[in-house]
Chain A
């Protein structure tokens, strides 16, 4: 009996590792291995010419960030982008979800329509918007028609990043809307019914019941938003043909990392150090968010 169960145990352990073997293979070769390798790279100068060579440089790669003007510009652009896009897309997502959830006819149709941007690749969306942002394009025409000023959306350093912000708020809000929608199904009807008995208006119900009830989901949406916005790359790359221009106005941290790693020679180690700095930044932002939302809920 006991032998049977040990045999069984072994068999099950074997099956377990066999089931996990593809995962372990990828995990070791393409994730955990690379993380250790990235730490190594961050302390070395990497030469890719001919055979790859590494030269230990200690903390030089990290010190270098302090004097790198482009790194500062990229960080500033990224922070601006995060601070504006995250609140806007979160609020828009919540409002759309609450409106969709009001039980009107045709809500299924609207849900399908709203979801379209989420399906479309960043490359296609960016191209469609570049076409609309054209100086002679649809958006400027509409602005002119209603008497608003027009802009050189792609070529003017003062507006190029804003153009990307508008596009991405439009593109990502629906994704978070669906998360809100799922959570809204769980709000107990009795809460609304009680509020109605007290004579609460639709707005009061939204503000005093829906919003507080959804706080944990909002926290999740904001964290996902932070992680996503800090990593802005595709849109900036396509918008500026990889340069981060005009005049570095669409240069983001990830685009800068890409340029240092793959477009300039001998700066791959520095790029790895920048990638670590970004990871730490994202980590701190998420912690900060958690802390803030906890303090809020004390009230």
Chain B
């Protein structure tokens, strides 16, 4: 009996470790390639440890592609602004739908739910024409305004606020706080865990988005990183050392966020996971 348990455990560990290796290899390979010289890349030697360790690739991508810092900045500005606006607006909407009484609340909620079902491709083409009409192609606002609210997270915030203890708000009301005071001073600070989970997903979604910038940005000055990376690949197609270095620079910020917030991360997925 004891022996059988041991074998079972060993098997489980074997599965876990094998899959961990499968997951890590592409990242380790990319990381090691980003420290290799071009000669080593071209020579086709398969070592995870660079023969001649070099930081040149990281320097070169900033020198050779002078727009690289600009792309980084664009991504930070767009993803950062989108995240802040989403946190604010989704919570406000979620709160109104959960707590406030007003005519049209129910149909509005149903509409927001229905919007969740519409694939982005349907709205993509008219969105382009509307942004064109507004003169918002190739602009930050064209990237930010259409994505500053998100139906999924409005829904999530509504669920969160429905389960939120009412007594606190009632006490605050007796103290003479208005709706806005209650929301910004009492409710929002207490919603921090839900906001953290939301922040990670919204930031990642915006940071990694490829299709929207591809459609509405044609000026390389305004490219975000995924788009910049794609054009970089076009220019330096066999310089895999550069491409991998650029990929690593791009991945690092999200990894840092993940390391600090991975607790909220798991929570967030089970939130959006229809629970």
* Chain A interfacial positions (CB closer than 8 Å to B): 9, 11-13, 15-17, 19-20, 22-24, 26-27, 29-35, 37-38, 41, 52, 95-96, 99-100, 102, 104, 106-107, 110-117, 119-125, 127-129, 131-132, 134, 136, 138, 141, 170, 174-175, 178-179, 181-183, 202, 217, 220, 227, 230-231, 233-234, 237-238, 241, 254, 257-258, 261-262, 268, 271-272, 275-276, 278-279, 282-283
Contacts and interface: CB of A to CB of B under 8 A. Distances in A.
Given A115-B265, A122-B210, A271-B125, A19 B19 contact: no
B182 to A, nearest CB: 10
A254 B121 contact: yes
Contacts of B97: 20
Most A C-beta atoms less than 10 A away, residue of B89, B121, B130: B121
Contacts of A95: 15
A contact face: mostly helix, strand, loop, or mixed:
helix
A179 B269 contact: yes
Interface string B11-43: 011011001101111110110010000000000
B230 A238 contact: yes
B129 interface: yes
Size band of the B side of the interface? 35 or more
Contacts, number: 257
A101 B250 CA distance: 32
Contacts of A15: 96, 100, 102, 179-180
Most B C-beta atoms less than 10 A away, residue of A31, A107, A129, A241: A31
A134 to B, nearest CB: 8
Interface string B233-275: 1100000100110010011001100100010011001100111
Nearest to A260: B125
15 contacts: A12-B102, A13-B101, A15-B179, A19-B96, A23-B149, A30-B145, A33-B126, A33-B130, A41-B125, A107-B16, A131-B33, A170-B26, A237-B210, A279-B118, A279-B122
Contact of A128 (B26, B96, B124): B26
Interface of B: 8-9, 12-13, 15-16, 19-20, 22-27, 29-30, 33, 44, 46, 85, 88-90, 92-93, 95-97, 100-103, 105, 108, 111-112, 115, 117-130, 132, 145-146, 148-149, 154, 179-180, 183, 204, 207-208, 210-211, 214-215, 225-227, 229-230, 233-234, 240, 243-244, 247, 250-251, 254-255, 258, 262, 265-266, 269-270, 273-275
Nearest to A14: B102
A122 B254 CA distance: 13
Given A99-B12, A128-B26, A31 B250 contact: no
A128 B44 CA distance: 16
B12 A16 contact: no
Given A52-B129, A119-B204, A38 B123 contact: yes
A230 B119 CA distance: 10
Given A104-B9, A115-B265, 18 more contacts: A12-B179, A19-B93, A23-B92, A30-B127, A30-B145, A34-B123, A35-B122, A35-B123, A38-B123, A38-B126, A41-B129, A119-B255, A127-B233, A178-B273, A231-B121, A237-B210, A238-B233, A276-B122
A106 B16 CA distance: 10
A237 B214 contact: yes
Most B C-beta atoms less than 10 A away, residue of A34, A117, A238, A275: A34
Contacts of A282: 119
Given A30-B130, A138-B46, A279-B119, A129 B16 contact: no
